[in-house]
Amino acid sequence: MAQPELSHSDRKPGAGGSDQPLDPAAEAVRRKMARLLLGSFGVMVLGLIAVFSAIVYKMSTGSVAITSGPLKAEIILPAGARILSTSLDGPHALIHVTVPGNTLGEMLIVETETGRIIRRFTLSDSAQ
């Protein structure tokens, strides 16, 4: 069965046959859009390269920081003191100790690299 012949006005653009060339203004817009598409694609590729490069760099250099200070430090506590709890915050440690004669004890802030006591807080009951 033969298909009926379509006139030029009945044809759909891009559905086979020869398309009419675009007028110069439409062709200029199409070229601008193609350049914009290529530029956007280039920026996206550069961004992905930067992200993957950063990931590879972080994995290869390692993120463990080694301090140059001593690995062992001696902390001198008051005589008869007993440690109740400890807490670390960066290069400092908070040590809660009980001492004879004070039931609430003391809070000591210690520099962990040297073992030096930076601050000493004596805890007391407000009724005393």
84 backbone dihedrals φ, ψ, rounded to 5°: -95, -40
Of the ranges 45-49, 80-84, 104-108, 117-121, the best mean pLDDT one: 45-49
Per-residue pLDDT for 110 more than 70?
yes
Q: Structural domain of residue 106, as residue ranges?
A: 68-128
Q: Give the chain's mean pLDDT.
A: 81
Per-residue pLDDT for 1 more than 80?
no
Q: Which long-range contacts (CB under 8 A, 24 or more apart) does 86-89 make?
A: 88/112
**Measured CA angle at 118 (ends 112, 122), to 5 deg:** 115
pLDDT number for residue 6: 55
- Kind of pairing between the strands at 92-99 and 102-111: antiparallel
Query: What strand order describes the sheet that includes 117-122?
Result: 82-89, 92-99, 102-111, 117-122
pLDDT number for residue 94: 92
- Are residue 76 and residue 128 in the same domain, yes or no? yes
- Are residue 113 and residue 125 in the same domain, yes or no? yes
Q: Residue 92, class by beta-carbon neighbours within 10 Å (0-12 exposed, 13-18 middle, 19+ buried)?
A: middle
Question: Using the 8-state DSSP alphabet, how is residue 15 labeled?
Answer: S
- Are residue 93 and residue 48 in the same domain, yes or no? no
Interatomic CA distance for residues 91 and 4, integer angstroms: 88
pTM exceeding the 0.75 threshold for the entire prediction:
no
- Are residue 94 and residue 127 in the same domain, yes or no? yes
Interatomic CA distance for residues 116 and 79, integer angstroms: 16
Per-residue pLDDT for 10 more than 60?
no
pLDDT tens track for 29-69: 999 999 999 999 999 999 999 999 999 998 888 655 655 65
- Are residue 56 and residue 78 in the same domain, yes or no? no
